[in-house]
Amino acid sequence: MNGFNIFDGYKDRGISPEVYEFCEKIWKDLKPRFDMIDEVSEYNQMKVLGAMQECNVAESCLLGTTGYGYNDLGRDTLEKVYAKVFHTEDALVRPQITCGTHALALALMSNLRPGDELLSPVGKPYDTLEEVIGIRPSKGSLKEYGVTYSQVDLLENGDFDYENIKKAINDRTKLVTIQRSKGYQTRPTLSVKRIGELISFIKNIKPDIVCMVDNCYGEFTEPLEPTDVGADAVVGSLIKNPGGGLAPIGGYIAGTKEFVENAAYRLTSPGLGKEVGASLGILPQFFQGFFLAPTVTANALKGAIFAANIYEKLGFSVLPNSTESRHDIIQAVTFNNPDAMIAFCKGIQFAAPVDSFVTPEPWDMPGYDSKVIMAAGAFVSGSSIELSADGPIKPPYSVYFQGGLTWQHAKFGIIRSLQELVNSRIVDTGNLLC
């Protein structure tokens, strides 16, 4: 093969022939499915490119501002690009939004008032939102400001509990939050189609309810976004899918004019809103990252499907399973064994381009109710669009794998995770016979 053997590169990185051959056969069988992912990526690439061209993105948009940031052409143009891609009236895309939890908290706190009620019709939200809402007491929570919270869990089969959702909606129900991805749960990720059906049901009961979707991990995994099927707003982090691995910080809120305007006044100050907020030289990464996001997301999706097929074949429970359609980049693997979970994360860390020599250990991470292990040797600290894995150290000991800026790196990360399980004698090489 042109004088080189691909396996030599893997062997130099500690991969045994048995592990490599087992994984190689699996990914070759996935090629037709990967072609379908590439088609969605190509469609989304044209959507982003078209938005940039229609919004007249110019070299001058990459310059940025300092100080107050008045009349920041690049910042304002980028927000027009986001609004066009998500088919919304407006968008807020800022480095001053520090993470996905901050973006969600900003959206909720700016669009809810004392006496309003927040409803989650898809069960418990992601762990870090519990303190934002006040499910777990915390200073500055929505609960402290007189906003109540109601929750309807999904049915055992993962369907929406329409009967109890209808009962939960009342005169004070102002905003519905729909978490697209599973978080640290074992429920299905919601497709855009299912989100649209849920929103339609809710608005038929009370048309003025604001429906907000936590879009984290889901952007560009499908041809449509939740705002294409009735969502009033979508919220996410730029160190996940839409940052394309280049954005070093930031978050976005895209939605109706009123929803975004409320968020802007909360982010900065009443009377100032979107008019201030310097971009500080960060715009080239924001623009280019968004341009690359469809392709990078496709690479991460391939890695997730590859992981599901490998670990399901070895007898572990995986969600989504090896054949299900994909609506986010997260792959859950349940080990029912903390040692296996930790070994998996060690393998991912050892595959990283940054801090590959570091051994991840569980720790008391802020915002969580148990120790959490996180493996991420990333160019951007905490970037979950880069190769990473994490999970709470508690039963059923599920690890959540995501990311991979390139398919080749995602592939190696999964292979290296399996190698670590073999090295730890958790997986027997006899199970790797093809």
Judgement on whether residues 35 and 70 belong to the same structural domain of the protein = no
Per-residue pLDDT band at 134 (split at 50, 70, 90): very high
Band (51; pLDDT cuts 50, 70, 90)? very high
Residue 342 belongs to domain with CATH number: 3.90.1150.60
Q: Give the CA diameter of the chain.
A: 72
Average pLDDT (75-97) is: 98
On whether both 375 and 228 belong to a single domain, the answer is: no
* Contact predicate 200/179, CB 8 Å: no
Strand (E) or helix (H) holding 392:
strand 388-392
Residue 288: the pLDDT is 98
Question: Do 194 and 302 belong to one domain?
Answer: no
For residues 96-118, give the mean pLDDT.
97
- Residue 307: inside a domain, yes or no? yes
By residue range, what is the domain housing residue 407?
A: 6-43+291-432
pLDDT exceeds 90 at position 90: yes
Within this chain, do residues 200 and 232 fall inside the same structural domain, yes or no?
A: yes
Query: What does residue 432 show for φ and ψ, rounded to 5 degrees?
Result: -100, 5
Q: How confident is the model at residue 431 (pLDDT cuts 50, 70, 90)?
A: confident
Sorted by sequence, the CB contacts under 8 Å of residue 35 that are 6+ apart come out as none
CB of 82 closer than 8 Å to CB of 267: no
Pairing relationship of beta strands 233-237 and 148-151 according to DSSP bridges: unpaired
Mean pLDDT of the chain: 95
The residue among 20, 68, 114 whose CA lies nearest residue 269 is 68
* DSSP summary character for residue 148: E
Q: Can you give the pLDDT at residue 336?
A: 94
Does 57 map to a domain?
A: no
- Find the helix or strand (DSSP H, E) in which 317 lies: strand 317-319
- Domain end point (choices 279, 302, 330): 279
Report the candidate in 125, 94, 290 with the shortest Cα–Cα distance to residue 212.
125
Burial class (CB in 10 A: 0-12, 13-18, 19+), 118: buried
Per DSSP, 274 falls in state G
- Using CA atoms, how far apart are residues 83 and 85, in angstroms rounded to an integer? 6
- Of 11, 30, 24, which Cα lies nearest the Cα of 432? 24
Q: Is the pLDDT of residue 4 over 90?
A: no
Q: Which long-range contacts (CB under 8 A, 24 or more apart) does 201-210 make?
A: 201/160, 201/162, 201/165, 202/121, 202/165, 202/169, 202/176, 203/230, 205/166, 205/169, 206/169, 206/173, 209/169, 209/173, 209/174, 209/175, 209/176, 210/111, 210/174, 210/175, 210/176, 210/259
Whether residue 339 contacts residue 355, with contact meaning beta carbons closer than 8 Å, is answered with no
The confidence band for 99, taking pLDDT boundaries of 50, 70 and 90, is: very high
Is position 397 within any domain?
A: yes
Residue 222 confidence (pLDDT): 98
**Stretch 85-102: mean pLDDT:** 97
Answer yes or no: is 381 within a domain.
yes
Domain count, the chain: 2
Residue after which a domain boundary falls, among 279, 299, 315? 279
Does 408 score more than 70 pLDDT?
yes
The sign of the CA dihedral 179, 183, 188, 190 is positive
48 found inside a domain: no
Would 53 be classed as within a structural domain?
no
Asked if residue 1 has pLDDT above 70, the reply is no
In a shared domain, residues 245 and 321: no
Confidence class for position 434, pLDDT limits 50, 70, 90? low
Residue 187 predicted with pLDDT over 90:
no
Which pLDDT belongs to residue 77?
98
Predicted local distance difference test score (pLDDT) of residue 429: 84
Measured at the CA of 114, the angle between CA 98 and CA 167, to 5 degrees, comes to 100
Q: Are 72 and 80 in contact (CB under 8 A)?
A: no
Burial of 419 per CB tally in 10 Å (0-12, 13-18, 19+): buried
My answer on whether 92 and 238 are in the same domain is: yes
Q: How high is the pLDDT of residue 182?
A: 83
Do residues 204 and 300 share a domain? no
Q: Is 60 inside any structural domain?
A: no
- 245 and 110 fall within a common domain: yes
pLDDT per residue over 320-377, tens digit each? 999 999 999 999 999 999 999 999 999 999 999 999 999 999 888 776 778 899 998 8
- The C-alpha atoms of residue 421 and residue 427 are separated, in whole angstroms, by 6
Share of the chain above pLDDT 90, in %: 90
> Of the residues 279, 305, 321, which one is the last residue of a structural domain?
279
Residue 8: predicted pLDDT = 92
Count of residues in the chain:
434
Q: Are residues 394 and 319 in the same domain?
A: yes
Q: Is residue 217 part of a domain?
A: yes
Alpha carbons 27 and 404: distance in angstroms, whole number: 16
Higher pLDDT, 432 or 94: 94
Would you give the DSSP letter of residue 21?
H
**Residues 195 and 300 reside in one and the same domain:** no
- 188-245: per-residue pLDDT in tens? 899 999 999 999 999 999 999 999 999 999 999 999 999 999 999 999 999 999 999 9
Q: Both 247 and 319 in a single domain?
A: no
Span 20-40, average pLDDT: 96
* Whether residue 324 sits in one domain with residue 256: no
What local confidence, expressed as pLDDT, does residue 193 receive?
A: 98
pLDDT at residue 30 is higher than 80: yes
Number of H helices, E strands in the chain: 12, 12
More confident residue, 4 or 14: 14
Which residue has better confidence, 299 or 158?
299
